[in-house]
Chain A
Amino acid sequence: MAKTPLLLTALSLLLCFSLMAQEDDLLSLLGEEEETTEYANASFKTNRVINLHSLESTSAGVLDVKISHRFGTLNRGAYELFGLDNASIRIGTDYGITDQMTIGLGRSSYQKTFDGFVKYKFLRQSKGKKVMPVTAAFLATTAVQSMKWQNPDRENYFSSRMYYTFQLILGRKFNENFSLQVSPTIVHRNLVKTANEAHDVYALAAAGRIKLTKRVAINAEYIYVLPDQLLPGFRNSLSIGFDIETGGHVFQLHFTNSTSMIEPGFITETVETWGNGGIHFGFNVSRVFTVVRPGIQ
């Protein structure tokens, strides 16, 4: 019988002391907070890496106006101020319908092309309650070039001006400073110049970014076009650049061997090479405007 009170005493003393010990630090008594799902954000500074779409989408209710330039190639020399005398331009706007769905329109001076896209993020990288290792988005674009017909005498169809791109974007923010994505891509061209060129061009793109400081990151992207689809003379696109973010603006300054800033252009129509200085300096300036303000509920 003697054991029972002894045990009870010991137990209650223990309970009491353990509680007192904790009392000294109420903060620790608060315990762990309820586990929530934490989504990765800011894997890239904006929804483009350089030419490629990044895995980021434009937030709901935000209009992103983008003005992009690609100057001539550096190997044109001092006479053309290393390419700065020439510029290829794209002006475009993207809008976030929801946090997952982005649409956009643009017009490029390169082949006087209009383009539009829909991007839908169907998986979001997260940890905590719900774990998802990657972010995945689907991109569909349409481009219409509006150059005068080269051969006005023959029967020309409007559909000959059309290009379509379908791209799956799979990416992951590995840590605060490093993000990587791969994008299997199909570019469909309704009209090609010769029978040796593929209408459907398959390519695999890879892109990454390393954050250097809070507001500056270095980006790189490479697009590998699978062999025997393009004529000799067409190259893979390689671009390297910096993102500089200042509040509502993102300045992207880069070097690339592509002139065009839309998928059918930079994936299937890149002709310059890095090897002989066929490098364009260029920039994208992104400015976001909040159209629909997020309210405080």
Chain B
Amino acid sequence: MSMKYLWLIGLISFGFYGALQAQLYEVKEATVNFRSDAPLELIEAKSDALRGLIDGEKRTFAFSLPVTAFEGFNSPLQRVHFNENYMESKQYPNATFAGKIIERIDFTKTGRYVIRAKGQLKVHGIERERIIRSELEMKNGSLHVSSIFTILLAEHDISIPKIVHQKIAEEIEVRIQATFVPK
């Protein structure tokens, strides 16, 4: 075995390593809002604690959000109940979404794209396969992602007692705005 090949393999793998590195985008700043619009009460909360990665080459992505970071609500007690009784955040601290972008496009080039993100959405410890429509915009090397989707509480085993049925929506609207920069 010649020395040359070894050098070559070494170089190639180094190059590959470099390429992999360059394709990763990481959340720089993000806001996640949710809205429960029930007949008797509107509940809104917000968090800035979203973390996420997108791989530009493989078109895979992963998001994670600590549930306790949500702020807002109509009263401090409501926030306690949200964590204690509904999300059980001690037991299920993070909500996650990980998977792959369906469209075969190169969004690393400047422009706007509408894509479908297919993956496993884990909320309250229960995973559901979801396809979530999102808008991507690549501008000046950073990637802006925005998306609006809904989560059905029943799909994630979050039960609402009868007594508060009129105050908590069965379907929760989630809005995400995130800016990604190369990692």
Chain A residues in the interface with B (C-beta under 8 A)? 2, 5-6, 8-9, 12-13, 15-16, 19-20, 23, 25-27, 29-30, 33, 38, 41-42, 59-62, 99, 176, 214-215, 246-248, 288, 290, 293-297
Contact = CB atoms under 8 A, between A and B. Distances in A.
Nearest to A1: B3
Given A8-B10, A41-B80, A247-B163, A296 B75 contact: no
Interface string B1-42: 001001101100110110011000000000000000000000
A15 B7 contact: no
Contacts, number: 107
A8 B3 CA distance: 12
Interface stretch (B61-69, B128-136, B146-154, B173-181): B61-69
Given A27-B62, A214-B85, A294-B72, 9 more contacts: A5-B7, A16-B13, A19-B17, A23-B58, A23-B60, A29-B53, A59-B76, A294-B76, A296-B71
Given A2-B3, A12-B13, A42 B80 contact: yes
A16 B161 CA distance: 51
Interface of B: 3, 6-7, 9-10, 13-14, 16-17, 20-21, 44-46, 49, 51-53, 55, 58, 60-62, 64, 66, 68, 71-77, 79-81, 83-85, 90, 94, 96, 98, 161, 163-164, 167
A253 to B, nearest CB: 17
Nearest to A296: B72
Contacts of B62: 25-27, 29-30
Contact of A26 (B60, B73, B75): B60
Contacts of B60: 23, 26
